[in-house]
C-alpha cells in the first residue's frame, strides 16, 4: 500500500473511533439501530459508486 492509503486508513479508523460511541449510545433500540445502520450503508454505497464512476 502507498503512504497516502495508509494515512487515509488511519484517519478513517480515528473518525470511526470518535463517532461509534455516540452512534451506539443513541441507538439502544434494535429497530432504530438497524434503521440507522441501513441508512449509513446506503450512503456508503452511493459514495463508492460515485468514486468508481469517476475513476
In whole angstroms, what is the distance from residue 30 CA to residue 33 CA? 5
Cell representation of residue 37: 445502520
* Three-point CA angle 18, 40, 54, nearest 5°: 100
Q: pLDDT tens digits for 3-54?
A: 888 888 899 899 989 988 887 788 778 888 889 889 999 999 999 999 889 8
Q: What's this model's pTM, rounded to 2 decimal places?
A: 0.57
Q: pLDDT tens digits for 7-21?
A: 888 998 999 899 888
Amino acid at each position: 500500500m502507498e503512504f497516502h492509503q495508509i494515512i487515509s486508513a488511519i484517519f478513517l479508523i480515528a473518525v470511526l473511533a470518535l463517532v461509534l460511541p455516540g452512534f451506539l449510545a443513541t441507538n439502544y433500540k434494535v429497530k432504530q439501530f438497524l434503521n440507522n445502520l441501513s441508512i449509513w450503508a446506503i450512503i456508503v454505497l452511493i459514495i463508492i459508486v460515485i468514486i468508481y464512476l469517476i475513476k
